[in-house]
Structure 1
Amino acid sequence: MAKQRIVNTRFWDDSYIALLSPHEKLLFLYLLTSPLTTIAGVYEIPVKRIGFDTGLAMPEIKQGLAKLEADGKILRQEDWIAIVNFVKHQTLNPKVRQGILLELNRSPQELVKRLPSSVQGLVIQLDRLSHSNSNPNSNLNFKAATPEPASPAVPQDIRREIHEMLGRRRP
């Protein structure tokens, strides 16, 4: 599957980016566009790979990652990185949503559960859009916590599908 990352030119006008050092800007831009980045923004990448690709020294990388994590821009677990607002900047059509859920399902769940509630709520949003989808692979068995259960206003068949995806059976 072809991957491409488009970086909005407003990246450079962002008030947070403006305050970063040149090394931190490069590191953050690299994390957004790395060849290992997934559609969900959660992926495994060794620090050595970051150094090889960017030319940054190990202390610069470790310091930059620590700053980005302390500032709430990324989450880390061993060699795994999660870019906190990555999903927010995706065009969320049904195929992209399914791709995001697939990648989140492949990622360490302890890390996924620390992502914003908007990512957790993606499960419910996906089901609302895909209930007419005849794709047999649409049930991804994603078991991350969601901010709230499905509303009673949601049709019965969709509620059942949501609860099955979340691992909760409901009649």
Structure 2
Amino acid sequence: MTIKRIVDVSFWEDPQVIDHFSIEDRYFYLYLLTNPNTTQLGIYTLPIKTISDKTGFSREVVLTLLDRFQEKLQVIRYSKKTQEIAVLNSLRTSIVKGGVAVERLLKKEVAQVKDLTLIQATLTHNTRYFRLSSRSFDQKIYTLLQEEIQLRQKLLENPQKIDRQFDNENENENEKENESLFANENDNDNENQNKNDNVNVNDNQNEDALETSVWPPQLSPLCPDSTHLPRVTSPIELDDLGLDPNLPPAIYQSERAILRQRLEDPYLFREGVINNPDLTLDQDVIQPFLDFCQEKGLSFSQTELVAYNQWLLKLPFDMVREAVLRSLDKQEVFYYSMKILWNWQQLKFKSLFHVFENQSRDYLPDSAY
């Protein structure tokens, strides 16, 4: 399905366009509104070289136009650090009527923006418009941008506090589950002991669900005819890999240590899931990744594609794509990218913003892969 962008016919009657835009300016602005890199949000990655290649302008002309559009016309903001652009008026025309799907898309896109100042510039430029708008969805956009800015500012001020917040929430969930289990105990001492053991096992499972949210398996050559495959319903659970939750605590701890080692080694992990018939591709989830692989000339096995499919159920597509891009110069692209994704998950990175803002904590796997 092709992506379409809306350009309001009033563009040609806008006093600013008529009075201040040259023919070259109008062509360039229409390119910024409709090029293949655009997003619903209006903030997206657009390298200088890409602009030059697509428009035919030289690099010097492109830099001059960007400076003019930002400083004089004040309709864009460009980040040279991340090569991202914010078309400030985009949200005024790109949304027809909104809805849950559009709101979800905007949340995803704003989380993938690397430069916080572009989000702030978009909000500042459109604040008056959003407040005066009669559309309720415009108020949601205003709130969405505000919340994203506040979240990032908190993360930048104290990233450790954010991590502790995630940990506390997970601990509270475990405590509630434990209370529910203890509430069902009877007076028999032996039964109580058995139930306490089960509670400890459940605690350990909850910890692993946070620390080792498994990455996954794979499938046939690139671009297979897989539309008939059933949808993947959930990421792999530890029990799917053969860990018995009813084992005595001491044995369970030992088995868990072995399992964790397997999960941290893509080679060993692959052996544990390659023959799992319950793990298949979700065509809607994997299709953007297949398109990306075709563009880069990459080919993965069926099992490896399922592995990426499982990651795409938990992380944004841009993060999975970035992990693969960072692995292209390695001998084993698949295993190296799996380790990168694993490290990002351990650091609780939820978007590319977290990756780029925490580069010092981005421990890549060793070069053996």
- TM-score range for the pair, normalised by the shorter chain length: 0.5 to 0.7
Kindly report which structure 2 residues correspond to 1:19-168, keeping only aligned pairs within 5 A, or say none: 19-70=20-71, 71-78=73-80, 79-89=83-93, 90-91=95-96, 92-108=98-114, 109-117=116-124, 118=126, 125=140, 143-145=148-150
Larger radius of gyration: 2
After superposition, the Cα gap between the structure-2 partners of 1:123 and 1:86, relative to the gap in structure 1 and judged at 3 Å, is closer
After superposition, the Cα gap between the structure-2 partners of 1:8 and 1:143, relative to the gap in structure 1 and judged at 3 Å, is closer
The unaligned stretches of length 5 or more in structure 1 are 129-141, 147-166
| Cα distance in 1 between the residues matched to 2:11 and 2:140 | 27
Q: Percent identity?
A: 23
Q: RMSD in angstroms over aligned alpha carbons?
A: 3.1
| Cα distance in 1 between the residues matched to 2:111 and 2:138 | 11
Report the residue type matching 1:55 in the other structure. G
Runs (4+) of structure 1 exceeding 3 A deviation are: 117-124
Q: Which has the higher contact order (CA 8 A, sep 6+)?
A: 1
The unaligned stretches of length 5 or more in structure 2 are 132-136, 152-164, 166-369
**1:117-170 Cα shifts (integer Å, max 9, x gaps):** 4579979726x9xxxxxxxxxxxxx63149xxxxxxxxxxxxxxxxxxxx9xxx
Q: Would you tell me which structure has more helix in proportion to its own residues? A: 2
What is the DSSP-based 3-state SS (H/G/I as helix, E as strand, rest coil) of the residue aligned with 1:76? strand
After superposition, the Cα gap between the structure-2 partners of 1:15 and 1:124, relative to the gap in structure 1 and judged at 3 Å, is closer
**1:84-126 Cα shifts (integer Å, max 9, x gaps):** 1111212222321221121111002232122224579979726
What is the DSSP-based 3-state SS (H/G/I as helix, E as strand, rest coil) of the residue aligned with 1:114? helix
TM-score, length basis structure 1? 0.67
What is the DSSP-based 3-state SS (H/G/I as helix, E as strand, rest coil) of the residue aligned with 2:37? coil
| Cα distance in 2 between the residues matched to 1:102 and 1:123 | 17
> 2:182 aligns to what?
none
> 2:5 aligns to what?
5
